[in-house]
């Protein structure tokens, strides 16, 4: 019984830290990143935000529908302001790579056919010398243009 109580305490503490961190990233997405969607209408989802560290990569899949005008915004909190992202189709063809567009944080697009796309986010390693790698919130938001 004595071992169970410390283990439960550690699990509860980790859950509390994760919940607080997610809430902070969600706040960052609402306050800072959402502004970059204008004049597009936000889809209402703030759950695509997380703490990432330099050198880390994350990917996700999202379905987009034909005939819609979309804006994707990928932004990072200080000091992670330059985030790399690329978008690929089901056949791993690169549709968009922001490295070819001066690391633009937005991409406006319209698809001819509905499809699920893979978005790969990468936090590049900074040129700055630091004892530890930098980390911070990275958020992805999507918006639709009104017809």
Mean pLDDT across 95-121: 96
Per-residue pLDDT averaged across 84-94, rounded?
97
Structural domains of the chain, count: 1
pTM score = 0.79
Range of 101's domain?
A: 4-144
* Predicted local distance difference test score (pLDDT) of residue 15: 39
Give 51's contacts (C-beta < 8 A, 6+ positions apart): 21, 25, 135, 136, 137, 138
Task: Please report, for the domain that includes residue 70, its CATH number.
Answer: 2.60.120.680
CA–CA separation, 14 and 76 (whole Å): 23
Whether pLDDT at 133 is above 90: no
Residue 132 has pLDDT above 90, yes or no: no
d(CA 68, CA 71): 10
Q: Convert the pLDDT of each residue in 3-27 to its tens digit.
A: 555 444 444 433 333 445 557 788 8
Structure-token pair, residue 73: 């915004």
- 26 Cβ neighbours under 8 A, 6+ residues apart: 46, 47, 49
Mean of the pLDDT values across residues 23-36? 88
């Amino acid at each position: 019984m004595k071992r169970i109580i410390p283990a439960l305490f550690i699990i509860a503490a980790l859950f509390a830290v994760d919940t607080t961190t997610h809430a902070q990233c969600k706040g960052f997405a609402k306050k800072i990143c959402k502004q970059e969607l204008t004049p597009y209408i936000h889809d209402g989802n703030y759950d695509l935000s997380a703490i990432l560290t330099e050198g880390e990569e994350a990917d996700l899949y999202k379905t987009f529908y034909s005939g819609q005008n979309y804006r994707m915004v990928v932004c990072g909190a200080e000091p992670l302001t330059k985030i790399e992202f690329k978008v690929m189709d089901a056949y791993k063809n690169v549709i968009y790579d922001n490295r070819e567009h001066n690391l633009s944080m937005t991409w406006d697009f319209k698809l001819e056919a509905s499809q699920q796309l893979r978005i790969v986010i990468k936090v590049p390693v900074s040129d700055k010398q630091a004892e530890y790698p930098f980390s911070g919130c990275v958020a992805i938001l999507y918006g639709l243009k009104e017809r």
